[in-house]
Amino acid sequence: MSKSKLEYIWLDGHKPTQNMRSKTKVVEDFSGKLEDCEIWSFDGSSTEQASGGASDCLLKPVAIYPDPVRKDGYLIMSEVLSADGTPHPSNARATIDDDDDDFWFGFEQEYFLMDSKTDLPLGFPRGGFPGPQGQYYCSVGGRYTWGRDIVEEHADLCIEAGLNFEGINQEVAPGQWEFQLFAKGAKKAGDEIWIARYLLDRLTEKYGYYIEYHPKPVKGDWNGSGMHANFSNSLLRTCGSKEIYEKVCEAFRPVTKEHIDVYGEFNDERLTGDHETASIDDFSYGVSDRGASIRIPIITVEKGWKGWLEDRRPASNGDPYKIAGRIIKTVNSANVS
């Protein structure tokens, strides 16, 4: 008789930014298959998802990954259901309209590594600032690079967990890093970002660090942190038409506010029009333009207008489920074929 540890992971009801929660279920003779993960309940009154008088919420397993750290362990990404079995209002995953997985997403997750003792990013001295940005992006060596140990370990964990992990790099500020994930299917892309965040957050517990997902944790002349969303569907991957690409981009213009509303809190501090961002109040797009709201990658143009688009507005603390769901709705509204 063997026993396995199933770590159920879900998003709470905290506002303005949801947090991850998790708890472990020990089961006997587990097959390792998602269909054999049972629905489990939790106290929603402790996660801002229910009242004390009717506190039960349900966890519906939707994705499973081997836990690269725990013996006989699995990571179970879960949707939150109300007690009657319907999707909870906090459950954005259930609202994504991509049942055929036609949409592909590649998310670029930026974040700051923070020292728990100083509450400063790694590389920031007490009572002052390091040298101005310019030397840190993709740097190597102890003079300009901090946190590589945990970043490398996190990459290994994600790969061992079976995530489609595509890369890492130090970003433009000290202690600021990025990882990239790609998935075919919007729900799967969201699942993998949340599992990667979980592995990163859990890893910080042994280093004495924590992760800051705020899009502008360091005020001043520093880039903020985003989660650029690269996306495509069959239309964008095959159309071969500049006119269709422009029509899709134009579909985003009248719903600028609706996108910003789900792209992460405090994003106004990051989307200023400076530091490789467009202003939060404007909408623009352009080929190879990192100062635009949406960048049309040069490789898309070189391949005859067959490829993808990059929405550069989502913040590092954004929910990939909400971001993907809103992008899909807008692309589909363009009504082109």
Tell me, what's the pLDDT at 126? 79
Contact of 270 with 216, CB cutoff 8 Å: yes
Angle (CA) 63 67 68, round 5°: 135
3-state secondary structure of 115: strand
Tell me, what's the pLDDT at 129? 75
User: Domains along the chain?
Assistant: 3-91 (3.10.20.70), 104-333 (3.30.590.10)
Closest by Cα among 143, 116, 119, 140 to 130: 143
Phi (first) and psi of residue 58, to 5 degrees: -115, 150
Phi (first) and psi of residue 235, to 5 degrees: -60, -55
Angle (CA) 194 103 246, round 5°: 120
Tell me, what's the pLDDT at 130? 84
Token code pair at residue 121: 């990013």
Written as one letter, the residue type at 42 is: F
Tell me, what's the pLDDT at 108? 98
Cis peptide before 16 (omega within 30 of 0): yes
pTM: 0.96
Q: Which residues of the chain have pLDDT under 70?
A: none
Tell me, what's the pLDDT at 303? 97
Cα–chain center distance at 254: 25
Tell me, what's the pLDDT at 160? 98
Per residue, the 3-state secondary structure of 35-85, as one string, reads HHCCCEEEEHHHCCCCECCECEEEEEEEEEEECCCCCCEEEEEEEEECCCC
Contact of 155 with 109, CB cutoff 8 Å: no
> pLDDT, tens digit, for every residue of 69-102?
999 999 999 999 999 999 999 999 999 999 999 9
Length of the chain: 337
State how far the Cα of 218 lies from the Cα of 174, in Å rounded to an integer: 10
Q: Is 181 exposed, middle or buried (0-12, 13-18, 19+ CB in 10 A)?
A: buried
Give the bridge partners for 286, in sequence order.
295
State how far the Cα of 87 lies from the Cα of 286, in Å rounded to an integer: 38
Tell me, what's the pLDDT at 133? 83
Phi (first) and psi of residue 167, to 5 degrees: 165, 170
Tell me, what's the pLDDT at 231? 98
> pLDDT, tens digit, for every residue of 300-326?
999 999 999 999 999 999 999 999 999
